[in-house]
Structure 1
Amino acid sequence: MSAHVRRRHAVLGVVALLLAVLASGLGTSSARGDIPPPADGWELQWGDDFTGPDRTPPSGEKWITDLGHSYPGGPANWGTGEIQRYTDSTDNLSLDGNGNLRITPLRDGAGNWTSGRIETRRSDFKAPEGGTLRIESRLRMPDVAGEQALGYWSAFWALGSPYRGNYWNWPGVGEFDVMENVNGMNRVWGVLHCGVAPGGPCDENNGLGASRPCPGTSCQAAFHTYRFEWDRGVSPNELRWYVDDQLYHRLTQDRFDATTWQNMTGHAGYFILLNVAMGGGFPDGVAGHATPTAATEPGHSMLVDYVGVWTRGGDGGQDPGDPGEPTPSTLYLRDGGGLGEAGPAAGTATLASADGRNHDGTPHAVQTFTARGVTGDYSGGTTAFDLFVDAGTTVGNGQQVRISYDRTGDGSWERSETYRYFATDPVPGVEHYTAESGLHSATGSLGDMVNGTVRVEVWNAIGTGPSTLGTGDRSVLHLPFG
C-alpha cells in the first residue's frame, strides 16, 4: 500500500503498516509529510517535509522564491520561452496544511498566467569524493490531462552553483532534470544539460534524456518518487535517474570529454529547484504548437510531499579532524575535491582556460575543494594560503581563488574572500600564489566555527590556456584559528 493511500485512510492495521514501512525503503514516505528515514549506508544531508499551516509560504531559511519573468540581467522568460510570471502569492505558492508544498498556475481575466518557483538557498549539493549523491522528491503532477493540460510544465531539477549571479554560463555549469512532465501526459522525463548550446556533447538545447510512463497509477493521479544519483564511487562515474525506484536513464563519465565533465562537476555543487511553468520550448515542442491555449485550464497544482538530499560513502574532504574536536588549522587541497591532511603523494588538478575572456571576480570552470565538519575558535587573524600553480608555456594566465566559510554548516556562507588574480609567465617550474596578492573583494565576517564548512574555489580569471594546480601534499590553506 502506497504512502498516498495511507494518507487517505487514517486507520490501518498495525501489521499492514509495518509491512508497508519495511517495503518502502528510501523511495516512499512512511507518513504524511515525512522525509523517509535513510536506508543503510545513506546519510541525510538536507531536506524539507513542507509541514505547516495551510496557505503559508515555504521556509525562507531553506528556499528562495523566484519572481517575475527572469533573473535580474538573465535571459528573458527564464531562458525557456515560458510565459508565466512567478510570484510569491500564496495563491500560486504555499503549503497546503497536509504536509505538501502546492504550486498552482493561475490565469487572470486578461489571459496572463502566474505560477510559483523556488530554489534551495544551499548550492553545494555534490557527490562526495568516492561516494554518491542522491536527490529525491515525492510528487504528484497537476491532475489535468488532454487539451485542458496543454502548456503545463512541472519540474524538479538542479542547476550548477556558478549559474547564480552569472545567468549566461548555461549549459556548461550543468543541469540535472530529475523530473519533467508536460501537457498532462502520463510520462516522466529525466534529462542532463551540459557543454555548449546549440549542439555540443549534450545535444543542446534538447539535452540527453530518456522518458517513460509512471509505474502503475498515472503521474497525475497519484504521488510518485523521483530520484537522481551522481555516483563517484564507480569508474567511470555515473549519473542515474529513477521513478519509484525503477532505473530508466543512465549516463557515464566516459561519454564526455574531460573539459565538459569538469565544467559540470568540478564546481562547488548544485542548487535544487521546483516549479510549474506554462508554455515554453518543451511543452510547445511536444504539442507541436504554441501552448497554453484557450482550452488550457488553470488552477491545477503540483503537490510536493518532501525533498531530500542524501550521500553515501566517500569522504568528500569531510575528514579534517574528529567530529566535535578542533580542526587542524592547516589543510591541504586533496585530489578529488577534498580539503584535509596532506595526501600521500603530489597530485594535480587542471584549471580550464579562461578562453581569452575576463572572469575577474567571477568563478569560471572552477576547481573546488571542500572540508565539512570544521570546528575551531577564531584567532582574530586572516586567511593564508600557498597554491602551487604552473601555467606551462602559456603567457599571462591569471589564477584566482575564492575562500568561503559556512560557520555552522547550514548552507549560509557567513564569509567569502576573493583574492586578486595572479598572472603567471612561462618560467621554469611551479610558481606560488599566496594571500599576499591581496583581497579583490570580501563579504561578511570571520568567527568561530562549529561543524562548519570551508570551501576553496580556484579558476583562471584571464588567459588563453589551461594551468595546473598542485594537490595532495602541495597547495595548502591556513585557517585563522587559534
Structure 2
Amino acid sequence: MRTSRTTPHRRITVLAALTALALTLAGAITVAGSGPARGDVPATPGWNLQWSDDFNGANRSLPSSANWQIDTGHGYPGGPGNWGTGEIQDYTASPDNVSLDGSGNLRITPLRDGAGNWTSGRIETKRADFKAPAGGTLRIEGRVQMPNVTGNAALGYWPAFWALGSPYRGNYWNWPGIGEFDIMENVNGINSVWGVLHCGVNPGGPCNETTGLGNSRTCPGASCQSAFHTYRFEWDRAVTPNALRWYVDDQLFHSVTQNQLDATTWANMTDHAGYFLLLNLAIGGAFPNALGGSTPTAETVPGRPMLIDYVGVWTKGGGGTTEPPTDPPTDPPSSSSTLALRSAGGLGATQSAASSVTVASAGGGTYDGSPHSPQTFTATGITRAYDGGSTQFDVFADSGTTIANGQQVRVSYDRTGDGIWDRTETYHYFATDPVNGYEHYTQAKGLMSSTGSHGNLVNGKVKVEIWNAIGNGTSTVGVGNQSVVHIPYG
C-alpha cells in the first residue's frame, strides 16, 4: 500500500470497486462506441479547439515530442517512489511500451520479462495551462479503448487518462491541494469507468483523501475493454456555483460543484496556471489491490495495450484557455525586486488589500524540508539581472492558540521559464507562539538547504511555498500588503 501522503494517486474504495463489479455482472452487452481510429479529431459545434493530438504516424514511432514528454522510471526525481501509488512497473521510452500503432492510435503496452519484471508507458503533455476561461467552460476529451483483457488475466491492470495541477511540476509533494481530475481510470479489467476529483489535504479533508470524490458506471453498450469509448471532463465557470462534470459517450455519470468545497480548497485547485494531461497504464498498486489480494498474479497476461485514438482540449465562452490570476498584479512582476504574496497564489510587484490564506495542518507529522500541502505563490515572465545578493522575505504567520506549530518557507527560481528550478532555497521552520496575532518569519531563521545557483532571469519564474512542517493545527499567513519576498535581482 502507498506510504507517501502527498502524491497523486487515483484510488477508489473497495466498496466502489465491488459496486462496479456488480453493475458489470448485471449489465447487458451490446455493440456501441466501437470501431477503429477516426483518423481525426471530431468537430464539436459551439466549442473552440485549443489543442489536440490524433496520434497519426508510422508504426512504432514515439508520440509527438512537441506535444508530449515521456515519463520514465519508478517516480519523478525527488518525488515519492513507485509514483506514490505502489505501482510496480518501470516506465520506459521504448516503442515496445509507448508508440503509435500506424493506424491512428497511441498504444501503451505493459510487458513482463522472464524474471517477472514489468515495464509500461506514461506520457504527459508539455503544456500545463489547460484551464477554464473566466465565465466559460473547459472540455478535455479522449477516445480510448481500455486494455482488452478481463478476469484473472487482467489483475493488476490500471489504465488512466487524467490531469494534474501545474504547480505539481518541479515540486511533487503538493498533492492533492493543486488538484487532480481523473477523467477515465479502470482497474483489473472490470467493465466500469471511474471519474474522480482529488483536492484539499491528505488524509481526509473535503475530498475525502486518499479516496477522492468519485463515481463509476459501466461503459454504455459494448464493454470498456472490447471497444473504444469517449471519455470527457468539463470544468464549467459559466454557471453558479462552478461545476465539474464527467461523461462517458456523452452520458453524465459524475459531478462536483463549487459549493461542495470550502473556498480555500477550491481556490488552491483552480487559481493556478492550469493543468497538464496524462495517459498511462500502471501495473499493480493501491487501486488494483483495493479488490483484495496481491496484484498482478501469475495469471496476469502481459501485452494487452490501451489504445488512444485522440485527445483534445476545447473551450467555449470566456476569453480562452488561460487567464491571469483572479488577484493579478497591476504591473509586471519584473518591474520590482520586492514581490507581495497574493491570495490567488500570485506574486505581485504592487501590493493589494490585506487578506489571509490558511496553511494546512501537518497532522502530527514531520515535514521538515518537504513541502506538505503548501500554499504556493508564483510570479512568471521575469527578466532581471542577478545582483549578487541573497533572498529575503518577511512572512506574517500565525497559529492562533495552537501549540508547537512550525511554518516553513521554500523559495525556488526557474531562470528561463523552462520548468526546471535552477535554484531552490529551503529555510528552517519558524515555531509560532500559541498566542493570537501575526509574527514575522524572515530569512533570519537561516537556510536549511539549497540547491543550484543564481543567475540572470530571462522570462523566468519565482515560486514561494509555505507549509506547516510540524504540529497538529492549521496556520494563517497574511497576504496582500502583509507578506513579501525580496529577490536578489536588480
Report the TM-score, using the length of structure 1 for normalisation.
0.72
Structure 1, residues 145-166: CA drift from partner, whole Å, max 9, x if none? 5548633331123567679888
Q: 1:412 deviation in Å?
A: 1.8
SS state at 1:7 partner:
coil
Which residue pairs with 1:92 in the alignment? Answer: 97
Which residue pairs with 1:432 in the alignment? Answer: 440
SS state at 1:436 partner:
helix
**1:163-312 superposed matches below 5 A:** 175-184=180-189, 187-193=192-198, 202=207, 207-214=212-219, 219-220=224-225, 223-229=228-234, 236=241, 238-243=243-248, 247-256=252-261, 273-278=278-283, 282=287, 297-304=301-308, 312=321
**C-alpha separation in 2, matches of 1:395 and 1:436:** 22
Does residue 67 of the first structure (1) align with residue 73 of the second (2)? yes
Indicate if the aligned counterparts of 2:411 and 2:465 stay in contact, CA closer than 8 A.
Answer: yes
Which residue pairs with 1:478 in the alignment? Answer: 486
**C-alpha separation in 2, matches of 1:77 and 1:387:** 33
Distance of aligned partners of 1:115 and 1:461 in 2 relative to their CA distance in 1, 3 Å threshold: same
**C-alpha separation in 1, matches of 2:135 and 2:375:** 18
1:7 corresponds, among 39, 43, 51, to 39
Structure 1, residues 296-337: CA drift from partner, whole Å, max 9, x if none? 5532221345667787465227954778x9443332111122
**C-alpha separation in 2, matches of 1:375 and 1:133:** 33
Which residue pairs with 2:160 in the alignment? Answer: 155
Does residue 369 of the first structure (1) align with residue 377 of the second (2)? yes
**C-alpha separation in 1, matches of 2:221 and 2:384:** 52
Counterpart code for 1:481: Y
**1:27-42 superposed matches below 5 A:** 37-38=49-50
Does residue 138 of the first structure (1) align with residue 170 of the second (2)? no
**C-alpha separation in 2, matches of 1:432 and 1:480:** 20
Indicate if the aligned counterparts of 2:179 and 2:197 stay in contact, CA closer than 8 A.
Answer: yes
Structure 1, residues 426-456: CA drift from partner, whole Å, max 9, x if none? 5674222222332222222223333333221
Distance of aligned partners of 1:136 and 1:390 in 2 relative to their CA distance in 1, 3 Å threshold: same
Distance of aligned partners of 1:393 and 1:202 in 2 relative to their CA distance in 1, 3 Å threshold: closer
SS state at 1:392 partner:
coil
**C-alpha separation in 2, matches of 1:383 and 1:206:** 39
**C-alpha separation in 2, matches of 1:200 and 1:432:** 28
Counterpart code for 1:374: I
2:411 corresponds, among 381, 396, 403, to 403
Q: 1:140 deviation in Å?
A: 2.5
Q: 1:130 deviation in Å?
A: 6.4
Which residue pairs with 2:459 in the alignment? Answer: 451
Does residue 114 of the first structure (1) align with residue 118 of the second (2)? yes
**C-alpha separation in 1, matches of 2:479 and 2:79:** 36
Distance of aligned partners of 1:468 and 1:298 in 2 relative to their CA distance in 1, 3 Å threshold: closer
Indicate if the aligned counterparts of 2:413 and 2:424 stay in contact, CA closer than 8 A.
Answer: yes
Which residue pairs with 1:330 in the alignment? Answer: 338
**C-alpha separation in 2, matches of 1:94 and 1:290:** 29
Counterpart code for 2:39: R
Distance of aligned partners of 1:414 and 1:292 in 2 relative to their CA distance in 1, 3 Å threshold: closer
Distance of aligned partners of 1:129 and 1:381 in 2 relative to their CA distance in 1, 3 Å threshold: farther
Distance of aligned partners of 1:2 and 1:385 in 2 relative to their CA distance in 1, 3 Å threshold: farther
Indicate if the aligned counterparts of 2:98 and 2:107 stay in contact, CA closer than 8 A.
Answer: yes
Q: How many residues align?
A: 450
Distance of aligned partners of 1:249 and 1:327 in 2 relative to their CA distance in 1, 3 Å threshold: farther
Counterpart code for 1:338: G
Indicate if the aligned counterparts of 1:317 and 1:339 stay in contact, CA closer than 8 A.
Answer: no
The answer for unaligned runs of 5 or more in structure 2 is 1-32, 315-319
Which residue pairs with 1:315 in the alignment? Answer: 324
Distance of aligned partners of 1:389 and 1:79 in 2 relative to their CA distance in 1, 3 Å threshold: closer
Structure 1, residues 229-266: CA drift from partner, whole Å, max 9, x if none? 55678665544323456543112344356787788779
Indicate if the aligned counterparts of 1:132 and 1:313 stay in contact, CA closer than 8 A.
Answer: no
Question: Identity of paired residues, percent?
Answer: 55
Tell me how large the CA RMSD over aligned residues is. 4.8
